């Protein structure tokens, strides 16, 4: 199951974090509108970091509609990739951790999930309050910037992944007619559970937009209170 895979990665992050980062570093989050870890397909994959195929820099999901990539130092765990015409899923983490130290610079440990939804006639981008309401947890911070909605959740990260900070980030943005959800979790006490996590998700968003094909802007607007998150 993907939860076990993520838990293994998180344990590795915690171990390395004690050596490589201060107690003020790392983070992640989930958009509850999309399937949670542990679903079918690529999310059922299980392996140890560096025991499976090497990490990759980018991957095309949803028939190539969205290309997932990360900022420098963060790669995709190929074991977690799931893709179909109606959507896709992938997990990013430290290239160095995923490769067992074989590649990538030292970066703050964090796990980022990317979930691509199916195409919608008129996609709606939820705001931070709606994301928190859908998740059923208090909204700690609204760090939305332009087309990227960013919501820091006040709790729940430690129940999603053992050893994680209760604070975590969820995000959302539109790619054409598709809603893309980001989630970021970090070790307890990490700065990635704070503002550093928002900055990392901004970097992920920028990397995805750069790597993906040009898509016309959808005929949609942000809704303050749509029924979905």
Q: What mean pLDDT is predicted for residues 213-218?
A: 72
Token pair of 110, please?
């964090």
pLDDT at 44 over 60: no
Three-state SS sequence of the chain = CHHHHHHHHHHHHHHHHHHHCCCCCCECCCCCCCCCCCCCHHHHCCCCCCCCCCCECEEEEHHHCEEEECCCCEEECHHHCEEECCEEEEEEEEHHHHCCCCCCCCCCCCEEEEEECCCCCCCCEECHHHHHHHHCCCEEEECCECCEEEEEECCCHHHHCCCECCCEEEEEEEECCEEEEEEEECECCCHHHCHHHHHHHHHHHHHHHHHCCCCCCCCCCEECCCCCC
Task: Give pLDDT tens digits for 183-209.
Answer: 999 999 999 999 999 999 999 999 999
Tens digit of pLDDT for each residue in 64-75?
Answer: 999 999 999 999
Segment among 1-10, 77-86, 119-128, 156-165 with least mean pLDDT = 1-10
The CATH number corresponding to 2-223 among 3.40.1000, 1.20.120, 3.40.50, 3.20.20 equals: 3.40.1000
CA separation for the pair 211, 207 (Å, rounded): 6
CA–CA dist 178, 161 (Å, integer) = 27
- 45-59 burial code (b ≥16 CB/10 A, e <16): beeebbebeebbebb
- For 106-119, write each residue's pLDDT tens digit: 999 999 999 999 99
Q: pTM for the whole thing? A: 0.78
Q: Which tens digit of pLDDT belongs to each residue from 82-111?
A: 999 899 999 999 999 999 889 889 999 999
Q: Domain boundaries in the chain? A: 2-223
Summary mean pLDDT of the chain: 80
Sorting pLDDT into bands at 50, 70 and 90, what band is 216?
low
């Amino acid at each position: 199951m993907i939860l076990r895979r993520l838990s293994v990665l998180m344990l590795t992050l915690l171990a390395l974090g004690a050596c490589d980062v201060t107690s003020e570093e790392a983070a992640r989050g989930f958009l509850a509108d999309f399937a949670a870890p542990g679903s079918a397909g690529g999310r059922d994959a299980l392996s140890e970091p560096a025991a499976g195929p090497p990490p990759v820099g980018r991957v095309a999901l949803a028939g190539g509609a969205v290309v997932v990539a990360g900022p420098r130092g963060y790669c995709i765990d190929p074991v977690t990739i799931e893709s179909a015409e109606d959507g896709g899923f992938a997990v990013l983490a430290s290239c160095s951790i995923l490769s067992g130290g074989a590649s990538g610079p030292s970066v703050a440990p964090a796990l980022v999930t990317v979930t691509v939804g199916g195409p919608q006639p008129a996609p709606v981008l939820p705001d931070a309050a709606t994301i928190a309401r859908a998740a059923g947890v208090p909204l700690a911070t609204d760090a939305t910037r332009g087309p990227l909605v960013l919501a820091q959740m006040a709790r729940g990260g430690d129940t999603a992944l053992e050893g994680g900070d209760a604070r975590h980030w969820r995000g959302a943005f539109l790619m054409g007619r598709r809603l893309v959800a980001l989630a970021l979790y970090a070790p307890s006490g990490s700065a990635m559970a704070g503002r550093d996590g928002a900055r990392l998700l901004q970097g992920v968003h920028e990397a995805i937009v750069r790597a993906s094909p040009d898509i016309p802007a959808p005929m949609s607007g942000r809704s303050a209170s749509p029924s979905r998150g």
